[in-house]
A and B are shown apart, each in its own frame.
Chain A
Amino acid sequence: MSTTESSSAGSDPTAPDPDAQKWIELQQSPDFVELRARLRKFVFPATGLFLAWYVLYVLLADYAHEFMATKVVGNINVGLILGLLQFVSTFALTTLYVRYANKRLDPAAEKIRTEVEGSAP
């Protein structure tokens, strides 16, 4: 909950207030740079990987009929299993991201916060 802070920063953001200077300093601080780098390091590769995994499936389905039609159990073939895995992988990536955010992003954010509040007059 951040209502108290948000009301303290509740003035017009474009006005040249003392806060703005503090924000710019904060933005250049190594901690914040590190935080953004961590976020980017996860988000972009994860998306790339995910879209590639989709392409892989579509390509296999189109050009590897034999492989996709290989029966595993009864009438269930490799294609169906991979298809269902698309679902599973969506869940997996979601969970991974939330975990990553809780473990790697939020503590960093918390650290920046204590520093800012510690240095506040």
Chain B
Amino acid sequence: MIENLWSLTGVLCVAGLTFLLGFVGSRRANTTPDFLVARRAIPTSRNAAAISGEYLSAASFLGVAGLVLKDGADALWFPIGFTAGYLALMLFVAAPLRRSGAYTLPDFAEARLGSTTLRHFCTFFVVCIGVLYLVPQLQSAGLTLTTITGLPGWIGGVVVIVVVVVNVLGGGMRAITLVQAFQYWGKLFAIAAPTFVLFAVFLSNPSNGSRPLTDEGAPRFTETARVVLQEPVVLDVHEPTRLEATGTVEGSPVDGPVYWAPGRTYRVGTGTELVFAPGTPVPVVDGSPSTNAEWLRAENDGLSGMFETYSLIFATFLGTMGLPHVLVRFYTNPDGRAARRTAMHVIYLLGLFYVFPLILGVLSREYLPRLLVHGRTDAAVLLLPGEMLPNVFGQILGAIVAAGAFAAFLSTSSGLVVSVAGVVSTDLLPGKVRDFRWATLFTGAVAIGLALLLPRSDASLTVAVSFALAASTFCPLLVLGIWWRKLTWVGAVWGLCVGGGLVLSALVVNVVSSFTGDWAPDVLLQPALITVPIAFATMIAVSRATARRLPEDVNTILLRLHAPDPLGFIQDRDVQRFGTAEERASQGRRRSR
């Protein structure tokens, strides 16, 4: 179909452009010292755009709209949490962390507590968080490519990881702040332009033959919808529904018209085709609000719903500070004060971006109810332009969105692969350039392996698990490390292991349960509300018990973290190693003469 051709061209353009920029970037020799030199000259606003560009991933670009379509008001928490995380980062860690001169989380841990054992544990969790964050990116790439071309799901993920790994190996995408900043504005355009156009279409033709969202009942199909299920689902039926089904329902084969009774759930097998006539109420995937009234209202399921929501808030609010690819970028700030300002700009930029997926999510509820049937709501943003504007214009908008989505996967994945590989190569291998390359291959291989192995879930939900892991490991380490002088390395190791271990176990139980009939309680989906306090408590308790292990220079270190920037207590390891920007610049001039 010509529609696919447009979108495919968009995706190929983005991939090609990424390659090209990586190639140009690598020719300009982006080594660590160059990166460091660059940072003195980068204006705060551009740095903030670069952070946002790298941060806005599949979860933001596709996931938020998808969850709004499915869960309605409750999904508002995702964009709020993704943004508010930077508030916590700014209040607690931005400036002191920048002053510590640490380049990565393991660096910080070692500088603050002087333990290589702790450093290795930190490295392990950086890898876990990074890989967990990569998985939904790759899976969403698969979903995107399947949606626009019908190719099998694994191809998209493989394409993204290959582009990223080859690029990182070539040295591109590493330090190019300008490219990442451009990424932000590109993504903003890719989601804002379709939103404006589609919203105008909606305003000019608000009814579209459907019942408005103000209607309290179940959403309804506006035209004949044919849904083929690619995985088994359990559907929640709220109103009497007549449809045609071919395949398996409730374990027995069906072929022809069926009647589904209200208030029941139906188990529908893989490969089943469901055909709904216009005006039929939409059955939704079990667990999502089944009526528009519930959809518009936040919270419906009492204590467990409340736990889930607050747990998510906790994870995103406290987890952002522990994400490896975010932290590296903060290092490009010249001092603590600039780090503070950058965080503020990031919050504004992210807030601006998230307006658009929210609107697209609401529009999809009106125009794409069929996504509610198979639950693959992450595709909403991709399909909406073609659905609302079935002409060349819609196809072009669709291509813009698809290209933006791919840009999101590529930039976030690059940032993650670079930071994970950097940590692995410096900590576990001797840290030469060749080791960095092996580490890159290793990270890419593990990520794509897991992406193919693990069952696909909504991108935002999967990403939220890595936020939970970051919040249960690095948040206590950073907050206590910066604000509590009695932290010891033993306490830190115990806290990391207990907090991180709990989140990882919850994840494993969830995966096992999803293969064996979904028996795991909802609490395990987002355990941060329990695991974060436990991690904090463990760190404090063990540190008190091992008080004699306090580092001797704790006062000096804490002073350095909290001393005002103008005093010049910044101790950059890399500045020591490579010299300051000015020194290097003058050396460079001398060499060129």
User: Which residues of A are in contact with B by a Cβ distance under 8 Å?
Assistant: 1-10, 13-14, 20, 23-24, 26-27, 32, 35-36, 39, 43, 46-47, 50-51, 54-55, 57-59, 61-62, 65, 68-69, 75, 77, 79-80, 83-84, 86-87, 90-91, 93-95, 97-98, 101, 105-106, 108-110, 112-113, 116
Residues on the A chain within 8 Å of B341, using CB: 98
**Cβ of A5 and Cβ of B567 under 8 Å apart?**
yes
**Cβ of B570 and Cβ of A6 under 8 Å apart?**
yes
Q: How far does the alpha carbon of A101 sit from the alpha carbon of B90 in the complex, in Å?
A: 11
**Cβ of B348 and Cβ of A109 under 8 Å apart?**
no
Q: How far does the alpha carbon of A52 sit from the alpha carbon of B571 in the complex, in Å?
A: 37
**Nearest Cβ in chain B — how far from A14, in angstroms?**
5
Q: How far does the alpha carbon of A2 sit from the alpha carbon of B565 in the complex, in Å?
A: 8
**Nearest Cβ in chain B — how far from A85, in angstroms?**
10
Given contact pairs A7-B580, A13-B557, enumerate 20 new A-B contacts (beta carbons under 8 Å).
A1-B334, A2-B334, A2-B568, A5-B566, A5-B569, A6-B575, A9-B569, A13-B553, A13-B556, A35-B564, A43-B92, A47-B92, A50-B87, A62-B306, A65-B297, A83-B73, A83-B76, A94-B347, A105-B564, A108-B564
Top 5 closest A-B pairs, CB basis? A5-B568, A109-B564, A61-B298, A61-B299, A2-B568
Q: How far does the alpha carbon of A61 sit from the alpha carbon of B310 in the complex, in Å?
A: 12
Say which residue of A13, A62, A109 sits within 8 Å of B566 (CB atoms): A109
Residues on the B chain within 8 Å of A98, using CB: 340-341, 344
**Nearest Cβ in chain A — how far from B99, in angstroms?**
10
Question: Which of B76, B344, B566, B572 is most buried by chain A, counting CB atoms within 10 A of its CB?
Answer: B566
**Nearest Cβ in chain A — how far from B544, in angstroms?**
20
Does B305 reach chain A (CB closer than 8 Å)? yes
**Cβ of B570 and Cβ of A83 under 8 Å apart?**
no
**Cβ of A54 and Cβ of B310 under 8 Å apart?**
yes
**Cβ of A6 and Cβ of B344 under 8 Å apart?**
no
Task: Considering the complex, give the chain A residue whose CB is closest to the CB of B302.
Answer: A62
Interface residues in B, total, Cβ within 8 A: 61
Does B370 reach chain A (CB closer than 8 Å)? no
Say which residue of B90, B309, B340, B580 sits within 8 Å of A58 (CB atoms): B309
Question: Which of A13, A35, A43, A77 is most buried by chain B, counting CB atoms within 10 A of its CB?
Answer: A13
Q: How far does the alpha carbon of A86 sit from the alpha carbon of B82 in the complex, in Å?
A: 12
Q: How far does the alpha carbon of A68 sit from the alpha carbon of B296 in the complex, in Å?
A: 11
Q: How far does the alpha carbon of A24 sit from the alpha carbon of B305 in the complex, in Å?
A: 50
**Cβ of A95 and Cβ of B344 under 8 Å apart?**
yes
**Cβ of A8 and Cβ of B568 under 8 Å apart?**
yes
Say which residue of A14, A24, A109 sits within 8 Å of B565 (CB atoms): A109
What per-residue 1/0 map shows which CB atoms of B63-92 lie under 8 Å from chain A?
Answer: 000000000010010011001101110111
Q: How far does the alpha carbon of A103 sit from the alpha carbon of B552 in the complex, in Å?
A: 35
Q: How far does the alpha carbon of A5 sit from the alpha carbon of B343 in the complex, in Å?
A: 25
* 21 contacts across the A-B interface (CB closer than 8 A): A2-B334, A2-B568, A6-B569, A13-B553, A43-B91, A47-B92, A50-B84, A51-B317, A54-B310, A58-B299, A58-B313, A61-B297, A61-B299, A65-B297, A80-B296, A90-B83, A94-B348, A95-B344, A97-B91, A98-B344, A109-B567
Task: Considering the complex, give the chain B residue whose CB is closest to the CB of A8.
Answer: B568
**Nearest Cβ in chain B — how far from A27, in angstroms?**
5
Does B560 reach chain A (CB closer than 8 Å)? yes
Does B549 reach chain A (CB closer than 8 Å)? no
Say which residue of B73, B305, B343 sits within 8 Å of A80 (CB atoms): B73
Does B129 reach chain A (CB closer than 8 Å)? no
Residues facing A in B104-132 (CB within 8 A) are none
**Cβ of B306 and Cβ of A59 under 8 Å apart?**
yes
**Cβ of A24 and Cβ of B564 under 8 Å apart?**
no
Does B335 reach chain A (CB closer than 8 Å)? yes
Does B431 reach chain A (CB closer than 8 Å)? no
**Cβ of A87 and Cβ of B80 under 8 Å apart?**
yes
**Cβ of A79 and Cβ of B568 under 8 Å apart?**
no
Question: Which of A3, A57, A83 is most buried by chain B, counting CB atoms within 10 A of its CB?
Answer: A3
Does B486 reach chain A (CB closer than 8 Å)? no
Contacts A10-B576, A90-B351: A106 and B567 contacting too (C-beta < 8 A)?
no
**Cβ of A36 and Cβ of B562 under 8 Å apart?**
yes
Q: How far does the alpha carbon of A47 sit from the alpha carbon of B479 in the complex, in Å?
A: 12
Does B214 reach chain A (CB closer than 8 Å)? yes
**Cβ of A4 and Cβ of B91 under 8 Å apart?**
no
Task: Considering the complex, give the chain A residue whose CB is closest to the CB of B552.
Answer: A14
Q: How far does the alpha carbon of A27 sit from the alpha carbon of B557 in the complex, in Å?
A: 11
**Cβ of B556 and Cβ of A23 under 8 Å apart?**
yes
Say which residue of A83, A91, A108 sits within 8 Å of B347 (CB atoms): A91
Q: How far does the alpha carbon of A21 sit from the alpha carbon of B578 in the complex, in Å?
A: 27
Q: How far does the alpha carbon of A110 sit from the alpha carbon of B563 in the complex, in Å?
A: 11
Does B555 reach chain A (CB closer than 8 Å)? yes
Say which residue of B87, B313, B571 sits within 8 Å of A13 (CB atoms): B571
**Nearest Cβ in chain A — how far from B113, in angstroms?**
13
What per-residue 1/0 map shows which CB atoms of B164-203 lie under 8 Å from chain A?
Answer: 0000000000000000000000000000000000000000
**Cβ of B580 and Cβ of A3 under 8 Å apart?**
yes
Does B213 reach chain A (CB closer than 8 Å)? yes
**Cβ of B575 and Cβ of A55 under 8 Å apart?**
no
Task: Considering the complex, give the chain A residue whose CB is closest to the CB of B96.
Answer: A39
**Cβ of B298 and Cβ of A79 under 8 Å apart?**
yes
**Nearest Cβ in chain A — how far from B58, in angstroms?**
22
Residues on the A chain within 8 Å of B337, using CB: 101, 106
Task: Considering the complex, give the chain B residue whose CB is closest to the CB of A43.
Answer: B91
Residues on the B chain within 8 Å of A6, using CB: 568-572, 575, 580
Does B396 reach chain A (CB closer than 8 Å)? no
**Cβ of B87 and Cβ of A2 under 8 Å apart?**
no
